[in-house]
Chain A
Amino acid sequence: MIEVKDLKKSFEDKAILKGITTSFEAGKTNLIIGTSGSGKTVFVKCLVGLLTPTSGTITYDGIEFTALSQREKKDIRTKIGMLFQGSALFDSMTVEENVMFPLNMFSKMTAKEKMDRVNFCLERVNLVGANKKYPAEISGGMMKRVGIARAIVLNPKYLFCDEPNSGLDPKTALVIDELLGDITHEYNMTTIINTHDMNSVMGMGEKIVFLHQGYKEWEGTRHQLLESDNETLYDFIFASDFLKELRKGAGQSIKLSK
């Protein structure tokens, strides 16, 4: 479980996060949503320690991450897997080498054990036979899947995903969403996904935190989302005229099946 208390982050005199308090439970897909510029990426970067918060605390299973030194943070980081928006695969390495990289760095497995683990992870993300290809030779969806395989190869306790569906077609995006959901439940991970893809929100949002102008505007489940009377949230979800009309047509009664 990750707990965040009164998290603030400013760049010089510009406040980006203005006191966010929330928590993310293990075994659930936690989604952070919000418009562009609402502070989602800064929030996630603070959570993983890529940015140092101006004030506030972040606690990983009772350990105050924000109070740790860089060296101490390394221990927690080995329990973190992250999928980046652009996948962040190492260009000079093949798919197999990319996934094996964390194992080579941190595990004491034999070469065969490492290979088995890599093949297992690649199989888990439905990517068989691409071991020897370089990132430049595979599609965007495949790159995301390699990114997921690399993120889970060390069996992380916490999985962070920054816009996992950006740049993907709706069908591939669904595959990625399902994969992230399955992995989260299978390994009981604390998964935090930063997105503004409403398909993902409705499909997998077991907990949703809505950020607006640096504040936590709303939080709840996807089932509570459509019933919320929060105006800002409403404007975000039903941003397009098409969806607004659809909602009107349905008599304001769009509901999710449980």
Chain B
Amino acid sequence: MKFFYHFGKYLLMMRDMLTRPENLHMYWKELLRQMNGIGVGSLIIIGVISLFVGAVTALQFAYQMGSTFFPDYLIGYIVRDTMIIELAPTLSGLVLAGKVGSNMASELGTMRISEQIDALEIMGVNPNGYLIMPKIIAAIFIVPPLIVLAALLGIYGGYWAAENYGISPANYQKGLLYLFDPFNVVIMTVKSVIFAFLIASVACYQGFYVKGGALDIGRASTRAVVYGSILVIFFDYIVALVLT
């Protein structure tokens, strides 16, 4: 029953968000601020994690192939496909659920507790529209390029690790071009858009309806990360089921 209560409230929050902006310029400014926060603010963590995940994938695959007759270039092929289809979107999704999700939930929670949301409402500004919509739109536009970057850095990390392991760059590059299916990029993009929407909207829901004090902001932030991560994994499975 509780699930249906929260799901209904979540849908109402999304509905209330879709009203005509009081001032388009102010919404645009807020959208750019959010894009900067989500995009630029997450670049380093996404970059570092992807680089090493790609490197580790290459090393472990090379290690497992060590005593078999598989050709070396398959390392490039494996790193490319695992990064594009699975590791870049899912791992980045989980990282963003932690970083961006907790940030959004705590920002909105603090605004709620310190009556900043009430202040907006009294002024005649729709707080759902001004605070939530730019966050969700910013996430939908910024997360996919971040995930593309994560895939590229992961592939580069694999290249770097493979070279250090003794695999020739030419072989790795041959693997990168081997049996390339552009549809995998579509899968990655679909996943990244869905994950962005889920992470942002769930975090906004958790933060927007906080009641109580500082402790409750912490709890909302934790819930945003936990539910965001679970939904990322769940929808990862659903997308894989539908698109592959």
Query: Is there an interface contact between A88 and B23, defined as CB atoms closer than 8 Å?
Result: no
Contact: A88 with B116, CB < 8 Å?
yes
**CA A74 – CA B123 in complex, angstroms?**
8
Per-residue contact bits, chain A 40-84, to B (CB 8 Å; 1 contact, 0 not): 000000001110000000000000000000000011011010101
Beta-carbon nearest neighbor of B119 in chain A: A88
Return the CB mask of A79-114 against B: 1 if under 8 Å, else 0. Answer: 010101110111110000000011011100000000
Check A85 against B116 for contact (C-beta < 8 Å): no
Please judge, given known A-B contacts A85-B115, A105-B22, whether A50 and B122 are in contact too, CB under 8 Å: yes
How many residues does chain A have at the interface if contact means C-beta atoms less than 8 Å apart?
Answer: 23
* Chain B residues closer than 8 Å to A102, beta-carbon distance: 123
B119–A84 CB distance below 8 A: yes
Residue pair B116, A106 in contact (C-beta under 8 Å): no
Chain B 169-197, CB-CB to A under 8 Å as 1, else 0, gives 00000000000000000000000000000
Given the known A-B contacts A88-B115, A90-B116, are A80 and B26 also in contact in the complex, defined by CB atoms under 8 Å?
no
Are B118 and A84 within 8 A (Cβ)? yes
Contact A82 B119 (CB under 8 A): yes
B109-133 contacts to A (CB < 8 Å) = 110-111, 114-116, 118-119, 121-125
**Chain B nearest Cβ from A105, distance in angstroms:** 5
Mask of B73-94 contacts with A, CB within 8 angstroms, 1/0: 0000000000000000000000
Could you tell me the distance between the alpha carbons of A105 and B22 in the complex, rounded to whole angstroms? 6
| Contact yes or no, A105 B119, CB < 8 A | no
Q: Which residues of A contact B114 (CB under 8 A)?
A: 86, 88, 91
Say whether chain B's binding surface is mostly helix, strand, loop, or mixed: helix
| A82 to B118 CA separation, bound complex (whole angstroms) | 10
Q: Mark B150-167, 1 if CB is under 8 A from A, else 0.
A: 000000000000000000
For the complex, give the distance between the alpha carbons of A90 and B108 in Å.
Answer: 11
State whether A106 touches B22 (Cβ < 8 A): yes
Residues of A within 8 A of B118 (CB): 50, 84, 88
Chain A residues positioned under 8 Å from B33 (CB to CB): 92
With A and B bound together, what is the CA distance between A158 and B111 in angstroms? 24
In the bound complex, do residue B123 and residue A104 qualify as a contact, i.e. CB atoms below 8 Å apart? no
Is A78 in contact with B115, judged by CB distance below 8 angstroms? no
Of B25, B26, B119, B124, which one neighbours A74 at CB under 8 angstroms? Answer: B124
Residue of B nearest to A76 (CB): B124
Q: Which residues of B contact A78 (CB under 8 A)?
A: 123-124
Chain B's nearest CB lies how many Å from the CB of A162? 8
For residue B12, give the distance in angstroms from its CB to the closest CB of chain A: 12
Q: Is the CB of A77 within 8 A of B23?
A: no
Query: Is B23 within 8 A of A106, CB to CB?
Result: yes
Please name the residue on chain B nearest to A77 by beta carbon.
B124
CA distance A84 to B114 in the complex (A): 9
Instruction: Determine if B115 and A86 form an interchain contact, defined as CB atoms under 8 angstroms apart.
Output: yes
Q: B217 to chain A: closest CB distance in Å?
A: 13
Q: List 26 A-B contacts (CB under 8 A).
A: A48-B122, A49-B122, A75-B124, A77-B121, A78-B123, A78-B124, A80-B122, A82-B119, A82-B122, A84-B115, A86-B114, A86-B115, A88-B114, A88-B116, A89-B116, A90-B111, A90-B119, A91-B110, A91-B116, A92-B33, A102-B123, A105-B23, A105-B124, A105-B125, A106-B123, A160-B122
Chain B interface residues toward A at CB < 8 A: 22-23, 25-26, 33, 110-111, 114-116, 118-119, 121-125
Nearest 7 Cβ contacts at the A-B interface: A77-B124, A88-B119, A88-B115, A74-B124, A78-B124, A84-B115, A82-B122
20 more CB-based (< 8 A) A-B contacts, given A88-B115, A104-B26:
A49-B121, A77-B121, A77-B123, A78-B124, A80-B122, A82-B122, A84-B115, A84-B119, A85-B115, A86-B114, A89-B116, A90-B116, A90-B119, A91-B110, A91-B114, A91-B116, A92-B33, A102-B123, A106-B23, A160-B122
